[in-house]
Structure 1
Amino acid sequence: MFAVTNVDDLVILALFFAQAGAAWRVVAGQYLGFTGILAVTVLGALGASLLPEQLRPWLGLIPLALGVKAAWSLWRASDSDDEPSQAPGVLTVAGVTLANGGDNIGVYVPVFTVTDSLWLYVAVFLLLVGVWCLAGRFLASRQVVAKALAKWGHIALPVVLIAIGLVVLFSG
């Protein structure tokens, strides 16, 4: 269940890891964002309606705004190629993870509602976030993938973020 709902996140993680900077920011942001997803899921499973279904698509504004900001920065920096690319911050990664987690929440809430092992799921999912981070880092470090990400990653990240934002926004 975790893998199916996070395949798209693996691509985003590889893009984040491919950017210059400390990998700990990506890992910390991923954990922060996924912890938010789990918190909303657990609250939803326990009967609290934290986020009404009609508001979920508006979460798409987060990756959309981050993608537009990244595209704007890329466009502004095109004149000065001397600057290295900025590493994504913890909050950027967390925001993208959380905003991209609508499908996770939609899948997890019904499962968490009927299980007697709610906290086991939470623990396993948090362990799997680490595995996902390792897989994203691994993908970003493969020569073929790394070359592609080095050549196109700075362009792909805003495009992917904008696309995710639009899909989430218009999914409702």
Structure 2
Amino acid sequence: MATEHYRTFMDLGKEAGLMGKDLTKWIKEQQDGLAKKEREERVEQRKYDEEQRQLEDAREEKKRQHELTLKENELAFKKKARMESAEAMATQHASNPTPAAPNAPISSISSLVLKWNEEEPEVWLEEIKTLFENYNTTETERVSVLAKHMEGKAKAALCLLEKRQRGDMVEDSRSS
């Protein structure tokens, strides 16, 4: 590349009427100027590339912070929902003046059961499972409690099951 520029500068210098030492000096000045310009362009390109990297890093950090905030908000929301659900259960249990004791009649256990919640059946089933475990209920008692408190689609599905299947289902819910 330097050879190409040298020949170009030599031709231009001769056209301008330069010869000998004057031509050599002029060619050297042109080459030095060109090299300086190329160095400056490389420095500018490096600065530009570094700025672009910093901008990209800032975008990535902002995105990461946003995702972290979303996760924190989601966890806070879930925690709040669990706390509200626990408070609702505690309120319902606190409002029951006669809590049942282990091995109490099924009617006492039945009064402790929260109202069926179609949107959160897992919470309801977990509460039922705890009651079944705490009060040593029989399969027949479990089916009775489930049938009495379930509503809507869940109750319809339970009623369609054969007696043996209902017992198995209750047993499954108790073991999980």
TM-score of the alignment, normalized to the shorter chain, above 0.5: no
TM-score range, shorter chain: under 0.3
TM-score if structure 2 supplies the norm length? 0.20
TM-score if structure 1 supplies the norm length? 0.20
